[in-house]
A and B are shown apart, each in its own frame.
Chain A
């Protein structure tokens, strides 16, 4: 081992592009926005990128990101009309972003009163900076990079007591056709007391090539609000997706998350939830389907900060080829959070002996009257079940597919929102049929 092996952070040359770019970023005319961006760029420069010596990055290497010479994605990207076809949610309100910029219209027609959608480009152009103050604003290097380079995204506000039946559907498309490009978008969600809405967020490729998607999602749920948040990571085969989601949940509010990852050469999805009021709750569910040399990292942290908070988490994965997955699930119960309940489960099916999963549950409990549990299981296809299917004339491949589908479907069947469940089933079927990850169909 060389001396450099102990290095915990490496400089990320991409940050140096900020100086030349700053004047052309949205909001450049507003000193408050400029100051915010400059501070973030400085923080990102100082932080560099974590190496695997830094505990939360122990199983995921960022070398591929460090070694690629990224350009901020060009705004000249083609519109996405064709790319977005075949991926529609009936009755949903949809916005499409291509290479980090809104493509197409943004009318709020059909949305009920009390729902406000503002693109971040518009918010920045008028000098807003309140988008930067939420749960995801901590000293995370990828949040700092996002703040510095941010081009667009969405601020979604739902007023007190407004329950929206129609899901908001966000499609983020990336392309590396014009050279390795970096895409920085942010999704800010603020639900006032008693508000409720479902958001479907999908990330996919609109073209071939290497790109790096750096999305940040910042969510604040006031008392009694409810957010259903489904995220589909279907990035292109050469893409890197490194996402941070921060969520604050007030008393009696509920955050309901489902993350399905099928795409990306490297996908890291980090979710940090703070249950910050009595009876606040969250459900974090996820499904990861990896093949070839994909690396899929789901890292979650749930902080029970107040009494009687509840969290349940189930992540299931299927890996074949040389795919590698990471599950890190941390549950923290703070001293005040008596009578809290935290449950976590991670199950992975390995279809090849070269596939790998690193699973790391962590319970950190500082209160005595709590219920917490976690479990992890790693297995192969059940030989008896497969034999039973084959004994009925079903081929080994199809039988395996049926059993994998059954394993994954258990989680999808638990999704309350029908449109999300049906999108998830569609992605699962496409993956089982062997379609390349990251297609936009």
Chain B
């Protein structure tokens, strides 16, 4: 049996392509910057409230921060699914070779994770303390309850002072952490852009604009993702409450639903304004890149032109810029915007950002080093074997789904909607 050559099953060669050339970086390397982009973007969205005090974003900001933490492990899934020897992944911490743009990535991710976790700790510290106290007060606690109590006890790190002064101090620290976090988030994702932009062997990738393009598109995708998930979660909660209420009082109309009605309206409106601005910047930067390459028309442009205007025209101009940028811009800017329309726009934006990653990663590899041939990528759909699973549609969906599961778990420790619940408790 011929041993399978990595990449051969999904690479379609055209004209003169070197024998060792394949689409080596596949769907998971598309997912990788896409996910880190969501991480960085949602953090930056949350910082808008913490740092600049944009009150309207309070709810979505906490949501974004927790989601950012949930996305972080998921963002590390793609490299693990992609690496040929994932069991050696930790070598990157044992012998980091910092002249490589990947080497520090692990460290930056960890630093970033520490920052987000610390910020969450300061935000949720009062909740931990009170939960522990409340659990302590319940007599005859079951095993699960006792475990929860111990967990919350640990999570307080022994800092149980939730007096007025301490809370003010917490808020100040959160602000500092948010301030530190923004450059780290930008670095995290600018760095992801650098991974591609600094590959001199690849004419499509090599541009100093790459890190900036990546940062802006990260912010765009993060905001869009949070809008979509936040509004979506709110809809779900409403639905849930309505069901619950209907079951209990089949004939009355739901008060609870009334209370929730429109709660996301303001936040979504403000967030979508930021979305529109960043979307425009992203569009300008990406077009600038193409225009610049076309205008200077270096030798590599001969082939790039064929890719940009020919082979990948649909992916680049229709999906990425048309469906993913212009259409959502219209949806956001035309008068009479509703939450539903904003959600639609946010979904399209995510499609656009995903296509941008796709066009960079896959499109970038489609030009042969021979400068006389192309490669096309045939995304494995059916998980025929392990590699088609890991680096196919199934693997990508796994990566996409992971943050939601993690979010659901994190939500048990850092309940996102806690404040409302508390408010509700006061009201009733």
Q: Do A and B bind each other?
A: no
B residues bordering A, Cβ < 8 Å?
Answer: none
Chain A residues with a Cβ under 8 A of chain B: none
